């Protein structure tokens, strides 16, 4: 267990370093003067003296390698810095935006799992033609872009039917369309994995043996089929969380919903490096935590597979 935990911590530290390095390089490659971004952008009409002061304060006049070392040293101490655009600590801004994004992500994941389960269950119990139609629906759902799907949902449920608001109003009704926009493409991916595994599990020897012992079709489905079908989809949960957070960048903008995704988009456009770094590192950390939880849940659902892990 100690060696397993040490490897996980080492892998987590390496991933965070990679993410931080990629962000540093990407921000430096964006055309323009970083000092202008700090002073409010090209439209701020900052004086040459003010720009030079900003470069000295943020060490932008240092060689790029020195900037990189100082940047990593700041992150190691847990200091995410101050947002260029808002002139407030990044940690404080993230703490304010995090609840809305987590709420959207968790609701979207729950809806995606429900839709994927229903789609996989219906397809697995259908004829070959039904399974083929289910495959087409799953592929289309997985491939649809968030911005297009969000726009279509607004047109149908807000403009035409008038059932739901087009923007997030902070109510239960206001989160339905953003959550569906994130959940439907994710459900398409999960359903493809669950359906194939479910079809295989329902025709496997242990399912046949359960039927021979008098188990009903429902008992075989939930006790054997669904448990094995959920494992491949469960392994994608970490990826699903990362996808939901990245998808929130588009969804929160489309529905004018405050959150980390919308803050990240604004930070990228304004070259707000501390804000971009903080949100990206947090997303990577969430991904790693979720993957550890997935391994724990997998061990409960399928102990045989867990014993195969090197712990």
Q: pTM surpassing 0.85?
A: no
- The answer, yes or no, to whether residue 44 has pLDDT greater than 70, is no
Q: What is the pLDDT of residue 149?
A: 92
Q: What is the pLDDT of residue 311?
A: 44
- The answer, yes or no, to whether residue 235 has pLDDT greater than 80, is no
| Residues 284-294: tens digit of each pLDDT | 788 777 777 77
CB 248 within 8 A of CB 259: yes
- The answer, yes or no, to whether residue 181 has pLDDT greater than 60, is yes
| Residues 83-92: tens digit of each pLDDT | 887 888 888 9
CB 79 within 8 A of CB 27: no
What is the pLDDT confidence band of residue 4, given thresholds at 50, 70 and 90? low
CB 274 within 8 A of CB 84: yes
H helices of the chain, in order, are 2-29, 34-38, 48-57, 64-76, 90-124, 128-143, 146-153, 172-202, 205-212, 217-220, 226-235, 237-254, 260-269, 273-301, 303-307
- The answer, yes or no, to whether residue 11 has pLDDT greater than 90, is no
Average pLDDT of span 9-18: 82
Give the DSSP letter string of 175-199.
HHHHHHHHHHHHHHHHHHHHHHHHH
């Amino acid at each position: 267990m100690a060696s397993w935990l040490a490897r996980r911590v080492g892998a987590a530290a390496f991933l965070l370093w990679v993410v931080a390095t990629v962000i540093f390089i990407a921000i430096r490659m964006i055309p323009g003067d970083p000092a202008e971004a700090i002073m409010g952008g090209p439209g701020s009409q900052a004086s040459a003296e003010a720009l030079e002061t900003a470069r000295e304060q943020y060490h932008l006049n240092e060689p790029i390698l020195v900037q990189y070392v100082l940047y990593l040293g700041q992150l190691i101490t847990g200091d995410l810095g101050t947002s260029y655009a808002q002139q407030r600590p990044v940690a404080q801004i993230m703490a304010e935006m995090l609840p809305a994004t987590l709420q959207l992500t968790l609701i979207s994941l729950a809806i995606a799992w429900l839709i994927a389960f229903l789609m996989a269950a219906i397809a697995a119990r259908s004829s070959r033609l039904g399974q083929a139609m289910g495959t087409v629906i799953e592929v289309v759902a997985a491939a649809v872009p968030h911005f297009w799907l969000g726009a279509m949902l607004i047109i149908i449920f807000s403009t035409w039917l008038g059932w739901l608001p087009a923007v997030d109003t902070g109510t239960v009704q206001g989160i339905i369309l953003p959550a569906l926009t994130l959940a439907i493409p994710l459900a398409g991916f999960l359903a493809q994995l669950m359906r194939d595994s479910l079809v295989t599990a329902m025709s496997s020897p242990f399912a046949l043996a359960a039927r021979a012992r008098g188990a009903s079709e429902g008992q075989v489905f939930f006790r054997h089929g669904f448990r094995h079908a959920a494992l491949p989809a469960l392994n994608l949960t970490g990826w699903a969380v990362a996808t939901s957070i990245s998808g929130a960048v588009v969804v929160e903008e489309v529905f004018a919903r405050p959150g980390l995704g919308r803050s990240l988009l604004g930070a990228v456009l304004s070259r707000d490096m501390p804000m971009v770094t903080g949100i990206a590192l947090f997303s990577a950390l969430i991904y790693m935590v979720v993957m550890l939880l997935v391994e724990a849940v997998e061990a409960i659902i399928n102990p045989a597979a867990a014993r195969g892990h090197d712990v």
